């Protein structure tokens, strides 16, 4: 058969011969990693990674977490983070299909990549006049318990992408989605800044691993 594995053929050679669709997950990961480490072939490293960490878990890790895994280090961790982010951006752009935001429940599927993070990630969804998501960006990464966000970081992408409105979101690594006073104060500052710029802040969601809270629904905007 054409798709048969030739003896000694490396994943990158199979990629060139058969295309990416013919490769298994660990083979694709091996191509991205490029090399293994002393005593461990890159294919074995890729298989070990996927056995120990499901792909969705790997995608959610930051450089620090990935770099602590045996066989990766800073260089490979950086390559993986960059590859995951490129894939994520391509997925959200899709084939011209733009999610429409009508309620907080429409936002939740777009927050999967930050809800399990061990540090606070502040993410913005930028919408057009039809409430379609046209751009998504993590604008700030904070500590275990707080994130520092400047209005400039939130609204600069909005201007660049000609957004009509923005939905704010950040995770609470503790899992407790109750808003702090800092969360409320920050949200109101951003609402005021948006009013000056003519860009509506529609909502601010706080998410944990298994729960979420909408400041708009709680009338805290």
Average pLDDT over residues 165-189: 95
> What distance in Å separates the CA atoms of residue 204 and residue 156, rounded to the nearest whole number?
18
* pLDDT value of residue 5: 43
Highest mean pLDDT (candidates 3-17, 48-62, 87-101)? 48-62
Pair 164, 135: CB distance under 8 Å: no
* pLDDT value of residue 1: 31
Domain 104-214 listed as CATH 3.30.70.580: no
| Pairing status of strand 200-207 against strand 165-171 | parallel
**Beta-carbon count within 10 A of 3 CB:** 10
Residue 10: pLDDT over 90: no
Average pLDDT over residues 2-18: 67
What are the phi and psi torsion angles at 208 (to 5°)? -120, -170
CA neighbor of 121 nearest in space, from 157, 149, 82, 84: 149
Q: What fold is seen in the domain 11-93?
A: DNA polymerase; domain 1 (1.10.150)
* Strands ordered across the beta sheet of 121-127: 133-141, 121-127, 165-171, 200-207, 212-214
Domain boundaries defined on the chain: 11-93, 104-214
Average pLDDT over residues 160-174: 95
- Complete DSSP assignment for 98-124: --B-SSHHHHGGGGHHHHT-SS-EEEE
> What distance in Å separates the CA atoms of residue 214 and residue 205, rounded to the nearest whole number?
5
- Determine which of 14-23, 118-127, 155-164 has the lowest per-residue pLDDT on average: 14-23
22-70 tens-digit pLDDT: 778 888 999 999 999 999 999 999 999 988 886 666 777 888 889 999 9
176-187 tens-digit pLDDT: 999 999 999 999
* pLDDT value of residue 146: 63
Q: The pTM is what? A: 0.59
Give residue 71's region: left, alpha or beta (phi > 0; psi -120 to 50): left
* pLDDT value of residue 92: 57
* pLDDT value of residue 214: 96
Q: Give me 198's structure tokens.
A: 């003519």
Is 85 in a helix, a strand, or coil? Answer: helix
| Pairing status of strand 121-127 against strand 165-171 | antiparallel
When pLDDT is cut at 50, 70 and 90, the band that residue 8 belongs to is low
> What distance in Å separates the CA atoms of residue 163 and residue 197, rounded to the nearest whole number?
11
> What distance in Å separates the CA atoms of residue 29 and residue 149, rounded to the nearest whole number?
34
69-93 tens-digit pLDDT: 998 989 999 999 898 878 766 655 5
* pLDDT value of residue 61: 82
Residue the block writes with tokens 């594995």: 5
> What distance in Å separates the CA atoms of residue 78 and residue 136, rounded to the nearest whole number?
21
106-144 tens-digit pLDDT: 999 899 888 888 889 999 999 999 999 999 999 998 866
Q: Which is more confident, 134 or 18?
A: 134
């Amino acid at each position: 058969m054409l798709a048969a594995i030739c003896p000694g053929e490396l994943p990158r050679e199979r990629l060139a011969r058969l295309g990416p669709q013919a490769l298994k997950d660990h083979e694709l990961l091996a191509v991205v990693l490029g090399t293994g480490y002393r005593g461990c072939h890159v294919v074995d490293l890729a298989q070990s990674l996927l056995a120990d960490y499901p792909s969705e878990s790997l995608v959610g890790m930051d450089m620090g977490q990935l770099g602590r895994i045996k066989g990766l280090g800073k260089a490979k961790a950086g390559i993986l983070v960059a590859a995951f982010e490129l894939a994520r951006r391509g997925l959200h752009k899709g084939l011209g299909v733009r999610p429409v935001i009508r309620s907080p429940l429409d936002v939740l599927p777009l927050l999967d990549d930050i809800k399990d993070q061990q540090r606070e990630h502040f993410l913005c969804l930028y919408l057009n006049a039809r409430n379609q998501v046209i751009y998504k960006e993590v604008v700030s990464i904070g500590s275990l318990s707080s994130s520092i966000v400047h209005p400039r970081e939130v609204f600069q992408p909005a201007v660049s992408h000609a957004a009509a409105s923005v939905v704010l979101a950040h995770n609470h690594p503790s899992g407790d989605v109750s808003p702090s006073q800092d969360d409320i104060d920050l949200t109101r500052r951003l609402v005021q800044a948006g009013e000056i710029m003519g860009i509506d802040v529609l909502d601010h969601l706080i998410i944990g691993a298994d729960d979420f809270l909408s400041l708009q629904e709680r009338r805290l905007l």
